[in-house]
Homo-oligomer: A and B are copies of this chain.
Amino acid sequence: MTGSSPAGPGHRPTIKDVAALAGVSKGAVSMAFNGRPGVSEATRARVLAAAGALGWEPSLSARALSGSRTDTVGLAIARPARMLGLEPFYMEFISGIESVLAERGGALLLRLVKDADEEIGVQRAWWRSRQVSGSVLVDFRKDDPRASELAGLGLPAVAVGHPSLTGGLPSAWTDDAAAVGEAVRYLAALGHRRIARVGGAAELGHTAIRAAAFEAAAHELGLEQWSSIDTDFSGTQGARATRTLLASPHRPTAVLYDNDLTAVAGLSVAAEMGLSVPRDISLLAWDDSQLCRLTRPELSAMSHDVFGFGAEVARRLLTVLDGGQPEAGPVATPVLTPRGSTAPPRH
């Protein structure tokens, strides 16, 4: 049991114990341990040795209480559990946030809520009870109440979403409009003239942005026909939307999906209907995850460094916590990754 505390289980040492062992005052221990000037190198070494021997680390609560920063960051996600699990997006995103927080000794407080109102309650409670020093806000809707509520509280936050949605909060976003444009131009360049889109949840701000960008691109390229169907991002609804599209009399020759789950479901539906991908129909996914490479053919996708995105969000939040003004501007634009599910339409 190499790591068992010398003091024995059950009793965690405090700064007082360390001070006693090192033969100095509490204040000296604090200075020594935090690398502050005011103690000799000899003393610092003795203190560190004593701390090591006792297995002491400063209590975060006590630190927080006496005014120091703690960098505990809150994230509340408002989507049903069952769907969250399937969206590879969030785990990678969280993982990216953490990678940055961990460097600074920070921590991520995670909470799954059912809607924006519950989230406001949670964030408010976190802030008031000083559990978090800042938060990351995701999934912005039109006229989202969170921005003004939380700004009113004074909660430092970074919003994930286009600035047009995030009501003045510092934000981080991917340039979805540009990516939709690229996707549509790619399909058009392959020769597609009838392109449909299976969108995400209609309430989400970025769904509207993508929808608008899709319209604009279709218009600009003079496509023969286009349409969007919104879903809740689930496989079930992705399948249903695809069925509707493919069963229509003048069916599209290409479909652009808003996430990978609906695209995978769409692929199954195409197979079920006896259509060959990409010969009869091209499919293009979004939020490229490993899921896109599990299917036959593999799904072409607009891919996206979600981990890096999370990391950048965390960096911007830390800047805010440091009292700075975070860099403004999109984090990245998803890039086209062609695989086997897209090809020129059969004449």
Contacts and interface: CB of A to CB of B under 8 A. Distances in A.
Contacts of A153: 3-5, 9, 55
A104 interface: no
A86 interface: yes
Main secondary structure of the interface of A (DSSP, over half): helix
Interface stretch (A201-209, A217-225, A288-296): A288-296
Nearest to A12: B128
Given A108-B109, A149-B3, A152-B3, A294 B239 contact: yes
A94 B82 CA distance: 11
A86 B130 contact: no
A189 interface: no
A108 B107 contact: no
Most chain B Cβ neighbours within 10 Å, of A9, A95, A272 = A95
A61 interface: yes
Contacts of A57: 125, 128-129
Contact of A60 (B10, B130, B236): B130
Most chain B Cβ neighbours within 10 Å, of A85, A110, A154, A307 = A85
Interface string A1-38: 11111001111100000000000000000000000000
B120 A111 contact: no
A275 interface: no
A247 interface: no
Interface string A227-267: 00000001110010000000000000000000001001100
Contact of A59 (B129, B294, B307): B129
A252 to B, nearest CB: 21
Query: What interface size band does chain A fall in?
Result: 35 or more
B289 A85 contact: yes
Contacts of A81: 91-92, 95-96, 307
Nearest to A107: B109
Contacts of A107: 109, 111, 131
Nearest to A13: B128
A294 B261 contact: yes
Contacts of A125: 57
Nearest to A75: B110
Interface of A: 1-5, 8-12, 55-62, 64-65, 81-92, 94-96, 98-99, 102, 107-112, 120, 124-125, 127-131, 148-149, 151-154, 234-236, 239, 261, 264-265, 268, 271-272, 289-291, 293-296, 306-307
- Interface pairs A-B: 4 shortest CB-CB: A4-B152, A9-B154, A85-B88, A81-B95
25 contacts: A3-B153, A4-B149, A5-B154, A8-B154, A9-B152, A11-B154, A55-B124, A55-B128, A57-B129, A61-B62, A81-B92, A81-B95, A81-B307, A82-B92, A82-B307, A84-B91, A84-B92, A85-B88, A86-B290, A95-B112, A99-B112, A108-B109, A234-B290, A268-B294, A272-B296
Given A57-B129, A60-B131, A108-B109, 5 more contacts: A55-B128, A60-B129, A82-B92, A98-B111, A107-B131
